[in-house]
A and B are shown apart, each in its own frame.
Chain A
């Protein structure tokens, strides 16, 4: 018998793999709740749009979960994203440089569906790697 936290962690891991790694953008329909609150990218559509931007800029991007903990309905993830800058990224033309950036995401999971998301990322490190400086 799994605890609610274990189930929530599993849901978040599955979503990260399907959405961020396999780029199944429509997986939001099965993972996210109807009343989903997106606090990093404004909305479900904003989330999909951002993922598409990342995919275009870093077609080989790979997200790796390095730490994940659950407490109650909350799940916190520390992960890295690695990839090669091969497309436009917020006005910066492809440089061919590689990125390896840490980010944190916090989710709230209710009845097996992700109901809320917030995100934090180290943009100073990311821009420094993109510019190769």
Chain B
């Protein structure tokens, strides 16, 4: 017998790993979000870890991509990067009611800065 939280985590994981939803995973409220899709190509999203409580699920996601365009003052490096994103979901009766994402840039910047 699965708990509600386990079912919610399964719904969220399936959502994130469905490439049809990738466009939604690339959107955040951060001012630079539109630059992400221009500066990074071959973007893939995988779930790293989830936390669930009641109707809430927070997923920590890895976006792997290749740095092929200018981002935050950094010229393209051609490097493959691994960016962390947190995405918070509300799941009601098995359906995702809403979600919001946020990119961690503290771990992204050192990967694309000139050495």
Q: A-side interface residues toward B, CB under 8 Å?
A: 5, 67, 69-71, 74, 76, 78, 102, 104, 119-125, 127-128
How many residue pairs, one in A and one in B, have C-beta atoms under 8 Å apart?
Answer: 54
B86-115 interface bits toward A, Cβ cutoff 8 Å, 1 = contact, 0 = none: 101000000000000011111111000000
For the side of the interface on B, what is the size category? Answer: 20 to 34
Taking chain A's interface residues, is the majority helix, strand, or loop, or is none over half, making it mixed?
strand
Interface residues of B (CB under 8 A from A): 5, 30-32, 51-53, 56, 58, 72, 84, 86, 88, 102-109
Set A5, A69, A121, A125: member contacting B58, Cβ < 8 A: A69
- Report chain B residues within 8 Å CB of A74: 51
Bound CA–CA A85/B56 (angstroms): 35
In the bound complex, do residue B5 and residue A123 qualify as a contact, i.e. CB atoms below 8 Å apart? no
> A108 CB to closest chain B CB, in angstroms?
11
The answer to whether B88 and A67 have CB atoms under 8 Å apart is yes
Q: Taking A67-B88, A71-B5 as contacts, is the C-beta distance between A121 and B56 under 8 angstroms?
A: no
Which residues of A have CB within 8 Å of B103? 122
Closest-CB distance, B38 to chain A (whole angstroms): 14
